[in-house]
Amino acid sequence: MSWKSSWGYAPYVSVAERKKQAAKKVTQLKKKGEDIQPICIEGRTISKTFWGKAWCKHLEGFSDYENRLPRGRTYVRNGSVIDLKVKAGEIKALVSGSSIYTVEIKINPIVNTKWETLVKECSGKIESLIELLQGKFSKGVMEVITDCDKGLFPSPREIKLNCSCYDWADMCKHVAAVLYGVGARLDTRPEDLFLLRYVDHKELIAYAGSGHLSGKNLPQDNQKLTGDLSALFGIDLEEDVDPSEIKKEVKQVKNKEKNSIPIKKQTAKKRTLTSSTSRSKKENSAMVLKKKETQKKIKKTLIKKKGE
């Protein structure tokens, strides 16, 4: 800025003027092809979901920030955060104040040992990716994730703040507004929190899934093997069968056996009884062996699915 008030700060700008200034800036950026992602708050509640509320509560729990956060809440509610983008370990935003200010926030990656502990603590306790992103899990999991020292959220020493305004403090009202804006953003994009900490949220589900599989987690086409093959392969099954499915299975097996053993057409040349008998025995042996192998495979599959 090229001007300041007599006290060294830019003069007060009303909410209406800030909104007008913001709209003008947004129009300019859109003309340049910029992807503008503003923070829009409806009512006084900044965050409505688990992740957004947990983020805001975490910030408010640190004495380093308590004196600066109230002005930030006012700014974000007034729509002063006209653009906010989250990348791996980084938040970039534009805030409309006395002028348009640029805010950059760096967040350190979560320590590997801390993340590994989180993954293990959540093992088997989060049923699906949807439950994770919606924050629908037990109180125990919530306590692990939101723990001030051992959880997923960054501590003040892991956050580096920067704003282009004249305020000497790292936590100016523009930075505070952006931090609250992140809380609002997490309502719709909770995965951004994991992106900020350089981790993949799917790892919590992947680890939880190991040794914790249930029928509903398996592909639908693997849950039931249609057709009772006991009549054909001598496999005892208790389930009722569909005759049409039996015919289908029999046809498939016969086709496989037929294709696996090529049979030469007879020629005009006479074959001796010995050679013909020998060939027939070999073919029969091969067919019997193939049939037994097919029986074993099908029986193994049926027993496995029946056990599940």
**What letter does residue 167 receive in the DSSP assignment?**
-
Which residue type does 34 have?
E
**What letter does residue 153 receive in the DSSP assignment?**
S
Delimit the domains of the chain by residue range: 15-216, 220-307
Is the pLDDT reported for residue 159 higher than 80? yes
Is the pLDDT reported for residue 302 higher than 70? no
Is the pLDDT reported for residue 76 higher than 90? yes
Q: What does the pLDDT read at residue 236?
A: 43
- Model confidence band, residue 103 (pLDDT cutoffs 50, 70, 90): very high
Give every CB contact of residue 47 below 8 A, 6+ residues apart in sequence: 53, 55, 56, 183, 184, 186, 187
Is the pLDDT reported for residue 118 higher than 60? yes
Which residue type does 275 have?
S
For residue range 202-233, what is the model confidence (pLDDT) as tens digits? 888 865 444 443 333 333 333 333 333 343 33
**Cβ contact 192:152 at 8 Å:** no
Q: Where are the beta strands (DSSP E) in 128-179?
A: 159-163
Structure tokens at 198: 């350089």
Between 208 and 52, the higher pLDDT residue: 52
**Cβ contact 53:183 at 8 Å:** yes
Average pLDDT, the chain: 75
Most confident of 110-119, 166-175, 232-241: 110-119
Find the angle CA(121)-CA(124)-CA(126) to the nearest 5 degrees. 90
Three-state SS for 124? Answer: coil
Question: How much is the pTM?
Answer: 0.63
Residue 81: strand pairing partners: 95
**What letter does residue 27 receive in the DSSP assignment?**
H
Q: What does the pLDDT read at residue 300?
A: 64
Spatial distance between the Cα atoms of 93 and 84, rounded to a whole number of angstroms: 4
Other CB atoms closer than 10 Å to residue 128's CB: what's the count?
15
Between 71 and 138, the higher pLDDT residue: 71
Other CB atoms closer than 10 Å to residue 64's CB: what's the count?
13
**What letter does residue 199 receive in the DSSP assignment?**
-
H or E element, residue 95: strand 90-96
